[in-house]
Amino acid sequence: MEFRPCIDIHNGKVKQIIGGSLKDEGDAASENYVSELDAAFYANLYKKHQLKGGHIILLNAVSSNFFKETKEQAIKALNAYPENLQIGGGITADNAEEYLEHGASHVIVTSYVFRDGSIKYENLEKLVSKVGKEKIVLDLSCRKKDDRYYIVTDRWQNYTKVELSLEMLDEFSNYCDEFLIHAVDVEGKAEGIEEELAGLLGGWGKIPVTYAGGVHNFSDLKKLRELGKGRVNVTIGSALDLFGGSMKWEEVLTYIKEQK
């Protein structure tokens, strides 16, 4: 298990939000924390601690009036810590290279690949052709419906017909370097992890997987390590003191180091 830091940007500000509350209409979201510091500050902090594989997520739609401001913040973070941060939010085969040129180690993709409820293999193959699978992270963020986990797209607003399963992980590992998986129903709530999802991911473990959602104390971290069999990396947002929470982030780093 590794700690993977995050920088979520919405309306030009570094924020922590409740994931399921995000709406394109009015650029609305239920906010847990809005930072007075810019994205480059967090990138420099992660650089100081030599943390790798963190992700920047642009939470505004490309059509949003705030997208330009949000993107500018993201670029500043990439420039501050080049080749060590991943970026997602509106990524396509047409713009992926731009973010890589600005210093992203990987591009993170969901909605470009999962569209209109299904998998667009032509888009996935176009992206692989453009940047190479070693530069791609597939975001398989999901929500539970009818006792199954389904991939959700468009800033977690729309369900697809694609179920998250071990077979699906096998298939998509041929097209990417890593997976990022937000448990959207608990994302930003700091009320505990999705244990069933963590166990599913721990039963796989063929390429790096980062889990996000619900971690709010060290008991959750221990549970994730056990269910994930040490194979599942973790990101923590709202629960960290960096973002107004109670978990001291340097204690989190120490805890994870001690588990290796």
Quick: pLDDT tens for 72-122. Answer: 999 999 999 999 999 999 999 999 999 999 999 999 998 899 888 889 999
Bridge partner residues of 145 (DSSP): 148
CATH number, domain with residue 225 = 3.20.20.70
Inside any domain, residue 75: yes
HSE-up (13 A, CA, CB side) for residue 99 = 32
Q: Check whether 251 has a pLDDT greater than 90.
A: yes
- pLDDT in the model for residue 188: 59
Q: Check whether 236 has a pLDDT greater than 80.
A: yes
- pLDDT in the model for residue 25: 63
Inside any domain, residue 57: yes
Here the tokens at position 66 are 């705030």
Confidence of residue 238 (pLDDT cuts 50, 70, 90): confident
SS3 state at 213:
coil
Ranking 21-25, 42-46, 65-69, 92-96 by mean pLDDT, the lowest is 21-25
Inside any domain, residue 181: yes
Q: Check whether 20 has a pLDDT greater than 60.
A: no
**How many structural domains does the chain have?**
1
Inside any domain, residue 33: yes
Inside any domain, residue 132: yes
Q: Check whether 189 has a pLDDT greater than 70.
A: no
Provide the mean pLDDT of the chain: 91
Query: Containing domain of residue 180, as a range?
Result: 6-259
Sign, CA dihedral 90-5-19-259, equals positive
Q: Report, as an integer, the average pLDDT of 28-36.
A: 78
Q: Check whether 148 has a pLDDT greater than 60.
A: yes
Sign, CA dihedral 209-210-212-217, equals positive
- pLDDT in the model for residue 72: 97
- pLDDT in the model for residue 230: 93
pTM: 0.92
Are 234 and 181 in contact by the 8 Å Cβ rule? The answer is no
Confidence of residue 9 (pLDDT cuts 50, 70, 90): very high
Greater pLDDT, 248 or 184: 248
Instruction: Spell out where 154-222 has E strands.
Output: 158-163, 178-182, 209-212
- pLDDT in the model for residue 192: 87
Inside any domain, residue 211: yes
Edge-to-edge order in the sheet of strand 158-163: 142-145, 148-153, 158-163
Inside any domain, residue 1: no
